[in-house]
Amino acid sequence: MELTVSKRSLSILAVVILAGIGFFSLANRFGVFDMDLSSLNPRGWFASDEIAADTPAIRAVKAALSPAEDHAQWEASICSNMTEQGCTIFKSIYSQPLWKLPRDGADVSFVEVVDELEDGSQVWHLDAAKPDGTVSPVYIHTSQNEAGEWLLVRILFDQETRKYEQK
């Protein structure tokens, strides 16, 4: 059995498909179908500047870089914006060394999501602007809780950030 399709038939089919897509797009544009196609835009798949501007993860980084009078209160302000596992690791390994470092505060701002991991967590690039005007990149591992808030898992080490700095 041999199937033969003429060029004319293919041309008509292509025109019909393109016209259908055009009519569908126009109908959707004017609300006929009332569909939200924003999920098709890859830029919307990750956190945006507006969403990430004051998330718990960023508040934790700001607290970690800010001066404090009391170690326990400083530690609690950081951990309240972290995952439970992240807080446990922070308290046992990082809290004491970080507490001993001079911290003059920094204005921390979200730059972009640089990686989405298999478990749904993300790696974010932040900028930390110190009072003297210097800006340093900070890369953090974040995870969403049940309420949809992005919590700090941990701040990445310099060795881990190299692959993101080259992107």
State how far the Cα of 64 lies from the Cα of 75, in Å rounded to an integer.
8
Give per-residue pLDDT as tens, 94-113. Answer: 899 889 888 888 899 998 89
DSSP string, 127-143: EEE-TTS-EEEEEEEEE
Rounded to two decimals, the pTM is: 0.67
- Mark the ranges of the chain whose per-residue pLDDT is less than 50: 43, 47-50
* Residue 31 region by backbone torsions, left for phi larger than 0, else alpha for psi between -120 and 50, else beta: left
3-state SS string for 74-103? HHHHHHCCECHHHHHHHHHHHHHHHHHCCC
- 139-155 pLDDT tens trace: 999 999 998 899 999 99
